[in-house]
Structure 1
Amino acid sequence: MKKLFLIIGAPGSGKTTDAELIAKQNSDITHYSTGDMLRAEVASGSSLGVEIDSYISKGLIVPIKIAIETIINAIKNAPTDIIIIDGYPRSMEQLNALDEYLSSDSSLELCSVIEVKVSRETACDRVLGRARGADDKTEVFNNRMKVYTEPLADIQAFYSDKNLLHTIDGERTIEEIVLEMENFIKSKI
């Protein structure tokens, strides 16, 4: 049975970096970033990539059909049985689509949803400081934060009710955050 861990957090919370480091340190863990998967599709120049870019470039959520298809394909093709996906779900629609899929597939268990909590100020400083591309401008950052925070209470409540939500303080050093997250994941497998 494959074991799935989801990592959520504001733009700039460090969720992708944290997950990358954990996967690098543990050969039995595969990490996928929904953002990276979608950006790779955009970079490929495919028609799907052009469609995805029309959403990402404005800081909007990619339609559920595209996102869930990308994620399910990644999970099915993962080389390990422990999978970390960061940046998902970002809406109740995404959450419900994944929950529906998980309830129909007994070969996959959602072990936990880990929320990396940071202040808006920290998130903004990190995102505008890294400036990877067009999605890192102040206006787009503000839109991404709005998109992230609007459904957050409902997402937290849903996973809390299932006893799956685990919160980590993302304001500390990367080493402290990664150590806590890695130990938590190992405690669940």
Structure 2
Amino acid sequence: MLNLVLFGPPGAGKGTQSQKLIEKYQLVHLSTGDILRNEIANGTQLGIEAKKLMDQGLLVPDEVVIGMISNKLDANRDARGFIFDGFPRTVAQAEALDALLLSKDTSISVMIALNVDDQELEKRLLLRGKDSGRPDDANPEIIRKRIEEYNSKTAPVANFYKSQAKFVSINGIGSIDEIFTEITKVADTF
């Protein structure tokens, strides 16, 4: 089973590469945002709990998100593997995810980080902002803040996986196909 965390700052190309990985390896896409919206739409107990918090402008606690991921794993027991998108974002989330996967007799195979310098990220996000309609992709100040937030809060998760020898960094600058080839060289070893 290939359980992959695709990692990188906003604009690194995770969404583009995730789709290609899902197709090539027939992985189940675990996007915490999608899972959250689905649980709310289906009126599950976790969804109701999450909606109450979100309606108050509060973040959904890690244990609720982990519960939702557990439900998704259980619903896809025959999957060839999973690609984690937008999770884990903190070391505490990575630890909770490891514990959950261990309870299901599996683990993260590898975290692949797309390494892109801040200047290139800003350029990509501004370009994406022209088509996406997302205001956070059109404002250079907000883009810099998002990158800074990633560097200070999310990047330490890489050290968690480095300590387990499950971290690989890939140059995220190049053509989509060149980057995908480098990612598959890593994924093919699992």
C-alpha distance in 2, partners of 1:97/1:24? 28
Q: Which amino acid aligns with 1:31?
A: H
C-alpha distance in 2, partners of 1:9/1:52? 25
Q: Determine the structure 1 residue equivalent to 2:137.
A: 136
Residues 84 and 62 (structure 1), Cα distance of their counterparts in 2 relative to 1, 3 Å cut: same
Q: How does 1:110-125 map to 2 (within 5 A)?
A: 110-125=108-123
> Aligned-residue CA RMSD in angstroms?
2.9
Q: How does 1:89-108 map to 2 (within 5 A)?
A: 89-106=88-105, 108=106
C-alpha distance in 1, partners of 2:72/2:172? 26
Q: Determine the structure 1 residue equivalent to 2:173.
A: 171
CA contact (8 A) 2:66 2:100 kept: no
Q: Determine the structure 1 residue equivalent to 2:86.
A: 87
Find the partner of 1:31 among 4, 29, 32.
29
Q: Determine the structure 1 residue equivalent to 2:149.
A: 147
Q: Which amino acid aligns with 1:122?
A: E
Residues 13 and 52 (structure 1), Cα distance of their counterparts in 2 relative to 1, 3 Å cut: farther
Residues 38 and 118 (structure 1), Cα distance of their counterparts in 2 relative to 1, 3 Å cut: farther
CA contact (8 A) 1:18 1:178 kept: yes
TM-score of the aligned structures, taking structure 2 as reference length:
0.77
Q: Determine the structure 2 residue equivalent to 1:71.
A: 69
C-alpha distance in 2, partners of 1:102/1:117? 26
Q: Determine the structure 1 residue equivalent to 2:2.
A: 3
CA deviation map 1:11-50 (0-9, x unaligned): 1111121011121234x32223334445667899x86458
TM-score of the aligned structures, taking structure 1 as reference length:
0.77
Residues 179 and 81 (structure 1), Cα distance of their counterparts in 2 relative to 1, 3 Å cut: same
> Could you tell me the percent identity over the aligned residues?
28
CA contact (8 A) 1:5 1:111 kept: yes
Residue ranges of structure 2 left out of the alignment (5+ in a row): none
Residues 125 and 155 (structure 1), Cα distance of their counterparts in 2 relative to 1, 3 Å cut: same
Q: Determine the structure 2 residue equivalent to 1:58.
A: none
Residue ranges of structure 1 left out of the alignment (5+ in a row): 56-60
Residues 39 and 8 (structure 1), Cα distance of their counterparts in 2 relative to 1, 3 Å cut: farther
Indicate the structure whose relative CO is greater, using CA pairs within 8 Å and at least 6 residues apart. 1
C-alpha distance in 2, partners of 1:41/1:143? 30
Between Structure 1 and Structure 2, whose CA radius of gyration is higher? 2
Deviation at 1:145, TM superposition (A): 1.9
CA contact (8 A) 1:6 1:84 kept: yes
